[in-house]
Amino acid sequence: MHQYGIGDVERLLHLPRSAIRMLVEAGFVSPARGPRRSYLFSFQDLIVLRTAQGLAAANLPRGRITRSLKALRRQLPDTVPLSGLSICAVADRVVVKEGDSRWQADSGQYLLALDIDAADAGGALKVIERAAASTAPDAEDWFNRGCALEGDDAEAAREAYERALAADPAHLNTQVNLGRLLHETGRLTDAEKLYRKAVKVSGDDPVLLFNLGVLLEDMKRKKEAAAVYERALQADPRLADCHYNLALLCEELNQPRKAIRHLAQYRRLSRKES
C-alpha cells in the first residue's frame, strides 16, 4: 500500500502543515510513523483529512465528525479514488454519497436520495427531491482523475490535469501536481512555464514557489532557485524542506551565515513536526 508523507499531503490536498497536525491531534486520522517519527498517511487518510476540514467548516460538533469519519475510514478500501465519494453535512449528520446511494457515515444506514431544505419561514423542514445533477466532469473531477492515474499512467494523468486547468485555470492543486509531473518526466522547460504562469494566476503560493525552486536547482540555475526559495519562505516561514534546500544552496553560493541560519530553522521545524 502506497504511503504519503506530510509534504505529499500538502501538495495533494493543499492543506498547510499546521492544519494537518491539528487534524491528526484531534484524532481524525492516526497516521503511521516513518524515519525520525515522520507521519506516513494512507490513501484512506487523505480522504478523511480532506473531508474533516470541510465538515468542521460546516460547524458540525467535533465528536460527531470524529465518530463518523472513524466509522467511514473502516469501510473504505485502499483503492477508492478521491473522486469516488462525496461526503457532506446534512443537518447534524455526516452523509456519504456514492453514485446514486446515500448513507450515514456513523451508522451505515442508507438514506433516500433526498436533500433537506430548512428555508421555510416557519422553521418547518421540507424534503425536496432534487433533479439529477450534470455528470459532466469539472476541474475537481479531472484533478482527482489525474491523482488516481499518476502511479500507473503519467501521460494520462498529465492529460487529466490539463483538462482540469482548461476548466479552471486557477485550480491550484492541479497547477502544483502538473508542474511536478512535468518536472519528474523530464519536461523541465514546460514545468517552468507552467509554474510561472500559475504564480501569476494564484499569487505567491508557497508550495508553487518551493516546487519552482527545486526545478530551477535541477536546471543548475542556483541563484534564481535561492531567490524563489526566499519568496516561498516569505509566504510561509514554516516550510522546513525549503529552509533545508536553501541552506544547502547558500553553502554552495558561499553564504555561510545564511546557510547556518536556514539549517537551524530546518532543525527547529523538524523537531516540532516529530
- The per-residue pLDDT for range 35-53, each reduced to its tens digit, is 777 888 887 777 777 766 6
**One domain, residues 157 and 265:** yes
Supply the pLDDT for residue 114: 40
Count CB-CB contacts under 10 A for residue 263: 17
**One domain, residues 110 and 156:** no
Flag whether pLDDT at 69 surpasses 70.
no
Domain-ending residue, one of 98, 128, 158: 128
pLDDT band at residue 74 under the 50/70/90 scheme: low
**One domain, residues 150 and 244:** yes
**Would residue 63 count as lying in a domain?**
yes
Q: What is the CATH number of the domain that holds 263?
A: 1.25.40.10
**Would residue 241 count as lying in a domain?**
yes
**One domain, residues 259 and 187:** yes
Supply the pLDDT for residue 58: 61
**One domain, residues 156 and 267:** yes
Domain-ending residue, one of 83, 108, 128: 128
Supply the pLDDT for residue 82: 44
**One domain, residues 82 and 153:** no
Task: Classify the phi-psi angles of 91: left when phi > 0, otherwise alpha if psi is within -120 to 50, otherwise beta.
Answer: left
**Would residue 1 count as lying in a domain?**
no
Supply the pTM of this predicted model: 0.56
**One domain, residues 119 and 143:** no
111-154 tens-digit pLDDT: 444 433 333 333 332 222 333 344 567 888 888 888 878 777 88
**Would residue 242 count as lying in a domain?**
yes
> Could you list the residue range(s) of the whole structural domain that residue 30 is in?
6-128
**One domain, residues 158 and 119:** no
Cell 460546516 -> residue: 58
**One domain, residues 215 and 97:** no
14-28 tens-digit pLDDT: 777 777 887 787 676
Cα 160 to Cα 150: distance, rounded to the nearest angstrom: 10
Cell 509566504 -> residue: 235
247 contacts 215 by C-beta, under 8 angstroms: no
**One domain, residues 31 and 153:** no
**One domain, residues 94 and 17:** yes
Beta-carbon contacts of 192 under 8 Å, excluding residues fewer than 6 positions away, are 212, 215, 216, 219
**Would residue 134 count as lying in a domain?**
no
Q: Facing residues of 101 across strands?
A: 98
Supply the pLDDT for residue 220: 95
**Would residue 245 count as lying in a domain?**
yes
Supply the pLDDT for residue 127: 29
Reading the block at residue 31, the C-alpha cell is: 497516521
185-223 tens-digit pLDDT: 999 999 999 999 999 998 999 999 999 999 999 999 999
**One domain, residues 152 and 269:** yes
Number of domains in the chain: 2
Q: Return mean pLDDT, the chain.
A: 76
Flag whether pLDDT at 238 surpasses 70.
yes
Domain-ending residue, one of 128, 150, 181: 128
